[in-house]
Amino acid sequence: MFIGHFAPAFAARATTDEAAGLGKLFVAAQLVDIAFFTFAILGVEKMRIVPGITAMNPFDLYHMPLTHSLLGSAVFAAVAAILMGVFTRSGVAAAWTGIVVLSHWLLDLLVHRPDLTMAGGEEKYGFGLWNSPLVAMPLELAITGLAFWWYLRRTKGPIVPPMALMGVMLVFQAFNWFGPEPREAGIALYLTALFAYAIMAALAFWTGSTRWHRQQVGLAVASVRR
């Protein structure tokens, strides 16, 4: 799962104007992976390249107890929710932020081979849709496309920013699926992933700054959340 992780961000922002801005929700959607690649650079969590380990990618994510356990993801979600609540003074924004963060583990559960844990233990989980490209690829495009469509329906503003955002997301997804496989896991791979997340988050902040929720009226439009 790659751009599919952003579907809950689009959905949360579409659901209510009280949710955090789209840019913040994009960061929340990939917070777990941002932490993972940061920890991988530091050697705290680990992955390796094993060609053929799944049909869709060669990633052996063999040690990630802090970020990709359900407990660890829940901790990240709780911390993100608390921080959002403190800065926005909105329980709704805090709740939706936590939900978006936690959704990462649940979506990963669909596609990962068994490499996810409940609390960092030996028993690992994953439904393995990465071994079924004809299921995994349409599923990812469908959930992302539907959430994006809902976001457009529930917000107003110029069409160019969200279309640019989606265009870049699809380019990154195509490269993820059809580009050359990495030869080794290392800092270059980790920084590339973090750079991709940063580009998409920046575009989401821009998009959010140009659109307002249909719930907003009058002078409220001047305070669009980013």
Question: What are the residue ranges spanned by the domains of the chain?
Answer: 3-223
d(C-alpha 210, C-alpha 152), whole Å: 12
> In which residue are the tokens 């356990």 written?
69
Lowest mean pLDDT among 106-115, 198-207, 216-225: 216-225
The DSSP-derived string for 168-212 is: HHHHHHHHHHHSPPPSS-SHHHHHHHHHHHHHHHHHHHHHHHH-E
Rg (CA), the chain: 17
| DSSP element (H, E) containing 156 | strand 155-156
Confidence grade of residue 217 (pLDDT, cut at 50, 70, 90): low
Residue 214: the pLDDT is: 79
Residue 221: the pLDDT is: 47
Q: Average pLDDT for residues 15-44, to the nearest whole number?
A: 97
Q: What is the pLDDT of residues 159-182, one digit of tens each?
A: 999 999 999 999 999 999 999 999
